């Protein structure tokens, strides 16, 4: 059978997904597509609707309107089929502090009806995957927060699901523990899992995810590659320019000769903010060279992704 000639298989598809809590519209007409194999970042500030969406996908909450399918199975009508192929890690999950690591995983393995003969190997495999093999006999309460989170990951892997739904798994972790969780997720993606991970911090996911969606007030405002976020929302690009001589004249020319919203002198360079994203970035050099200036430095000032994200979402949620 030919492979890789067709477009990627769709793992998750939502169609006008909507959810209200009383009068509050928490999710409004969400259309989302996640492809098989994606490590998909689901971003939004607090209250944006991330948990609501993930709970619906995990069949724990019914939509008020609209639909969602996981690998072709409707989350309402075929909830049982969906539960078999997903692993859902909620934002807060109770830890069974007095249980040993292996006992805990064995318990969940039994819940998923993994035969006892097979369970020990399954438990060992998932422990290996999350790097907790050494902790098999440890009481959960004695594990660090980061290791408890990795155990949570092991738990959702026990029935070998195709899709992982992880609600802010890195929140509250120190940087090192966060990096460890991210590394596990990359490994899981490499093993062919599809993963949706939510976060209220875009930059946390920028080097991890191949695609992201941003929601705000229950509505999708962006879906696509991480780099596209900057392209879509950054105002004008910013350039730092150095000319050999005639700074004042060069600045005057830049103010009149191109679509700039700001031209200032700063730290020995001219800082030019282009008016919008449509403005041709090549026009900065072109304008100066045509005006007879000798250009000795031209560099783009990178706007931090987080800054872009905050601009997009600032003050928009309660
Ligand atoms: N069980 C609930 N009852 C009432 N309102 C809720 C409930 N759960 C969430 N909300 C509200 O719905 C909105 C979306 O919440 P949530 O999905 O938890 O967002 P996020 O996970 O992005 O922080 C928020 O305004 C929140 O207060
Ligand atoms: Mg949440």
Nearest CA, atom 12, ligand 1 = 26
Q: Within 10 Å of residue 314's Cβ, how many Cβ atoms?
A: 9
What's the confidence (pLDDT) of residue 290?
A: 93
Q: How confident is the model at residue 317 (pLDDT cuts 50, 70, 90)?
A: very low
| Residue 303 confidence (pLDDT) above 90 | no
- CA 51 / ligand 1 centre spacing (Å): 7
Mean pLDDT of 130-158: 95
DSSP 49: S
Q: Whose CA is nearest to atom 16 of ligand 1?
A: 49
In DSSP terms, which residues pair with 163 in a beta bridge? 86, 194
Tens digits of per-residue pLDDT, 142-153?
999 999 999 999
Percentage of the chain exceeding pLDDT 70: 95
Q: Is the pLDDT of residue 4 over 80?
A: no
Q: Which residue, 306, 53, 76, 312, is CA-closest to 202?
A: 306
Q: Which residue has the higher pLDDT, 10 or 275?
A: 10
Mean pLDDT of 90-118: 90
Domains and their CATH numbers in the chain? 10-232 (3.40.50.300), 235-302 (3.30.70.100)
Coil/strand/helix, residue 228 = helix
**Ligand nearest 47 Cα, by number?**
1
Q: Is the pLDDT of residue 315 over 50?
A: no
CA of 286 to the centre of ligand 2 (A): 48
How many helices (H) does the chain have, and how many strands (E)? 11, 14
Q: Indicate which ligand has the atom closest to the C-alpha of 55.
A: 1
**Range name among 77-81, 95-99, 210-214, 222-226 with the lowest pLDDT average:** 95-99
Q: Which two structure tokens, joined as six digits, stand for 129?
A: 């995957």
What pLDDT, in 10s, does the model give residues 216-273?
999 999 999 988 887 777 667 789 999 999 999 999 999 998 888 889 998 899 999 8
* pLDDT-derived band at 310, boundaries 50, 70, 90: confident
Q: How far is the CA of 236 from the centre of ligand 2 (A)?
A: 32
Residues with CB under 6 A from ligand 1: 21, 24, 26, 44, 46-52
Instruction: Determine the distance from the C-alpha atom of residue 253 to the mean position of all C-alpha atoms in its chain, rounded to a whole number.
Output: 42
Q: Which tens digits make up the pLDDT trace of 161-196? A: 999 999 999 988 998 999 999 999 999 999 999 999
Say which residue, 27 or 280, is predicted with more confidence: 27
């Amino acid at each position: 059978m030919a492979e890789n000639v067709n477009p990627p298989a769709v793992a998750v598809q939502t169609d006008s997904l909507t959810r209200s809590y009383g009068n509050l519209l928490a999710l409004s007409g969400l259309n989302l597509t996640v492809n098989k194999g994606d490590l998909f970042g689901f971003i939004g500030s607090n209250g944006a609707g991330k948990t609501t969406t993930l709970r619906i996908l995990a069949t724990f909450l019914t939509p008020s309107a609209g639909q969602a399918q996981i690998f072709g199975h409707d989350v309402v009508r075929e909830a049982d089929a969906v539960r078999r192929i997903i692993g859902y890690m909620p934002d807060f999950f109770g830890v069974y502090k007095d249980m040993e690591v292996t006992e805990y995983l064995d318990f969940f393995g039994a819940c998923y009806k993994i035969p006892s003969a097979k369970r020990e190997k399954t438990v060992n495999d998932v422990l290996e995957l999350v790097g907790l093999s050494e902790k098999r006999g440890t009481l959960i309460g004695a594990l660090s927060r980061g290791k408890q989170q990795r155990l949570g990951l092991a738990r959702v892997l026990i029935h070998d699901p195709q899709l992982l739904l992880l609600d802010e798994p890195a929140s509250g972790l120190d940087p090192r523990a966060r990096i460890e969780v991210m590394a596990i997720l990359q490994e899981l993606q490499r093993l062919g899992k599809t993963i949706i991970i939510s976060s209220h911090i875009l930059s946390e996911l920028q080097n991890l995810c191949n695609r992201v969606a941003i929601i705000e007030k229950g509505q999708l405002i962006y879906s696509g590659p991480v780099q596209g976020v900057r392209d879509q929302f950054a105002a004008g690009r910013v350039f730092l320019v150095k000319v050999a001589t005639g700074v004042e004249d060069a600045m005057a020319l830049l103010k009149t000769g191109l679509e700039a919203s700001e031209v200032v002198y700063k730290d020995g360079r001219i800082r030019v903010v282009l008016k919008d994203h449509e403005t041709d970035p090549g026009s900065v050099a072109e304008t100066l060279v045509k005006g007879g200036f000798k250009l000795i430095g031209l560099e783009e000032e990178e706007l931090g992704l987080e800054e872009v994200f905050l601009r997009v979402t600032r003050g928009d949620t309660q």
